[in-house]
Chains A and B, each alone.
Chain A
Amino acid sequence: MKILIVEDEIDLQDVMAEFLSAEGYVVEVANNFIEGLEKISLYTYSCILLDITLPGGSGMQLLQKLRGQGDNTPVVIISAKGSIVDKVEGLNLGADDYLAKPFHLAELLARIKSAVRRHNNHVDNRITYKNVVLAPDDRMVFVNDAALPLNRKEFDVLYYFLIRPEKLVQKVLLAESIWGDAIDQADSLNFIYSQIKNLRKKLRDHGADVDIQAVYGVGYKLV
């Protein structure tokens, strides 16, 4: 899968590129509006990450041009502006998602995956790891083909683990991405622990071969 990052902050560009490459994506970058426009017109990508404020033009214009050409490549807008107006405008122009800077890299990955998944809705999007299968579109989880009843939050937690099995999922990411504002950092430690405990118990009780392990108090990983 090929991803284009249109972002003028080189440091941020590097960090995203490094992370996504490690996740197995082929990453291309564009530093400004013209470069972005060139790459968009010449190549096809699985997903485009688009900054709004770019030297030489706006990410919004780029998005308009792209959609104007009838290209419906998934686009995730990444903006430091974080303003609601931008978000609404971006989504109206056909962006698939909007992520405000600063963000967790794992969150970015989750957004890319779901944008790509929604784009390929005719394809089988199910995520399989060992004997666990997660169907994002139906929000269902199966263990050995038997449905595993999970509540909404548990499903979201498992989704974050399954898109990156064997990798660290930070507690802060889970707290912020799934419970949002609800959690104070001081509480999150305990709270996430008890949520994970419940999820582990359900997985174990249903005979899943996967387990969730704590990683040095920083987060967890699915093994």
Chain B
Amino acid sequence: MAISIKQFTMRYLMIAIFAVMTIWALLFYAYILDEVYDNVDDGLRNQKINILRAVYEDPSLLQLREYAVNEFRITPLRDTVFDERNRFSHEFFYMPYDDEEEPYRVLTTMFYGPDKQTYLLEIRASTVERDDLIIDLSTALLVLYIVMISSIYLLREYIVKRALRPFRDILEALNDYQVGITTSFAPVETNVLEFQHLHQHIASMVERNAAVFADQKLFIENASHELQTPLAIAINKIDLILEEKDVPKAIMSKLADTKASLKRLIDLNRSLLFLSRIENRQFVQNELIHVNELTNELLNNFLDVAEHKGITVNVKLEADLYVKGNRDLLTMAFSNLIRNAIRYTDTGGEIRIVVDSQNWKIANSTTLGALPESYIFNRFYKGSDSIQSNGLGLSLVKSILQITPGGSVEYHFERNFHIFSISFSNS
């Protein structure tokens, strides 16, 4: 599962801080304990000196055999090797106040009393309870840990949000980026070096893409363009042969077929040229076109064909539709749709054209079902009939409407009618 950079950093921070604090807690505990013992031991040593002095002044003190208010005891020793070193140890004694055994630091040493006897001196001092210390320390650290983590969390919310804003801006700009349409990359304001670099790299990539894409488009245009002349020569030579006298029938019809194939090639080439010109935005969109009039002009040609195929054409011009755009392009769009309607309507079928103040709609009856809406506008999509179509007709319609200001085209299927609607939002 993908996690955001915030969660990602947080997870690692939590683990890292926990580890650091644990190590630190152990060291701190050892250090504190050492310091406490050191302190207590110093006190005990000092007390030893005081006790020895007191014993010499008042030998009755040698009789103190039990710990009491004095917190020391003296035991006479016999037959022991004398050792005056101070030895420290841990012992537990019952403490009435706490009603439990409590830890004590005990200094054990030997000394010669005023009577030249060897005595064992034990001095005790209450010291820290290690469990308590551990619990206290842990609690303190836990609180510190929680406070740290939550303040890091809050800070991070703020910092990351601010620091990553240019990143999100870059993402948005990338999202808006379309090859061939966006030629420059929206600038992103940031003083974060990494984001500046990221932006620079993307911007230069976008520029390179735009250049490559432009080259590519120009290539298609030039290639189609260069094909025109040889195609012209080929069909014109066929025209010349057809003019010859006494050409055998078989050769004549083969040549006519060849010319028909060349004609398809020419049509395809013209469509490609048109498409790339549309994409290269080589058309001026500033003519005011009376769509009703244009429709009638086009129908003038198409009605003969529809009539010939036995198709009824109903035209309803409900309101005047004026569109600002390019006459040649719109002519092509409308005639492609009308031609398709005639092509794919069976004999006895019906075509309806409705023009109102914003829309131009054409519907044709069909016995087949709906068309796949999602890809009929793709290049080289072909329906059932692949001979007459070059697969560019609807793609051209779509491209034309895309560059016509406010234009759009949609397909839907309703009660056995294919309906193509062209809308002009700013007509």
Contacts and interface: CB of A to CB of B under 8 A. Distances in A.
Contacts of B225: 80-81
A185 B338 CA distance: 15
B41 to A, nearest CB: 103
A167 to B, nearest CB: 7
B382 to A, nearest CB: 14
B240 A18 contact: yes
A187 B231 CA distance: 23
B238 to A, nearest CB: 9
A181 B335 contact: yes
Majority DSSP secondary structure for residues of B touching A: helix
Nearest to A79: B228
B232 A12 contact: yes
Interface stretch (A68-76, A98-106, A120-128): A98-106
Contact of B388 (A100, A101, A185): A185
A216 B229 contact: no
Interface in A21-56: 22
A92 interface: no
Nearest to A151: B304
B264 interface: yes
Interface stretch (B174-182, B186-194, B253-261): B253-261
Interface string B296-308: 0000111011001
Contacts of B343: 184, 187
B388 A186 contact: yes
A123 B81 CA distance: 156
A168 interface: yes
A101 B228 contact: yes
Interface in B280-328: 282-284, 300-302, 304-305, 308-309, 326, 328
A15 B232 CA distance: 10
Contact of B232 (A80, A106, A184, A194): A80
Nearest to B328: A84
Contact of B236 (A12, A167, A184): A12
Contacts of B336: 181
Contacts of B273: 82
A58 to B, nearest CB: 15
Contact of B264 (A80, A82, A85, A185): A185
Contacts of B132: none
A12 B233 contact: yes
Interface string A162-201: 0000011010100000011111111100110011000000
B233 A179 contact: no
Contacts of A152: 300
Contact of A15 (B231, B236, B260, B309): B236
A187 B309 contact: yes
Interface in B182-211: none
Interface residues of B, number: 49
B240 A19 contact: yes
A170 to B, nearest CB: 7
B339 A101 contact: no
A83 B277 contact: yes
Contacts of B300: 152
B28 to A, nearest CB: 84
A173 to B, nearest CB: 9
A150 to B, nearest CB: 14
A140 to B, nearest CB: 20
B239 A104 contact: yes
A182 B305 contact: yes
Contacts of B268: none
Given A80-B232, A153-B304, A185-B388, A85 B282 contact: yes
Contacts of A167: 243
Count chain A CB atoms within 10 A of each CB in B259, B270, B284, B301 and give the residue with the most.
Answer: B301
B362 to A, nearest CB: 14
A179 to B, nearest CB: 5
Interface in A102-118: 102-106
A147 interface: no
Interface in B339-366: 339, 342-343
B4 to A, nearest CB: 52
Given A102-B231, A218-B252, A180 B301 contact: yes
B387 interface: yes
Contacts of B266: 102
B242 interface: yes
Given A153-B304, A168-B243, A170-B256, A9 B388 contact: no
Contacts of A12: 229, 232-233, 236
Given A102-B229, A180-B335, 18 more contacts: A11-B233, A15-B237, A22-B243, A82-B228, A82-B270, A84-B328, A101-B228, A102-B235, A104-B235, A105-B236, A168-B243, A172-B256, A172-B259, A172-B260, A172-B263, A179-B305, A217-B256, A218-B255
15 contacts: A12-B229, A12-B233, A19-B236, A103-B236, A104-B235, A105-B236, A167-B243, A170-B259, A172-B263, A181-B332, A184-B343, A185-B388, A187-B308, A195-B304, A217-B256
Interface of A: 9, 11-12, 15-16, 18-19, 22, 80-85, 100-106, 152-153, 167-168, 170, 172, 179-187, 190-191, 194-195, 215-219
Interface of B: 225-226, 228-229, 231-237, 239-240, 242-243, 249, 252-253, 255-256, 259-260, 263-264, 266, 270, 273, 277, 282-284, 300-302, 304-305, 308-309, 326, 328, 332, 335-336, 338-339, 342-343, 387-388
Which 10 residue pairs spanning A and B have beta carbons closest together? Answer: A102-B232, A80-B228, A182-B301, A105-B239, A101-B232, A218-B256, A15-B236, A184-B388, A181-B335, A11-B233
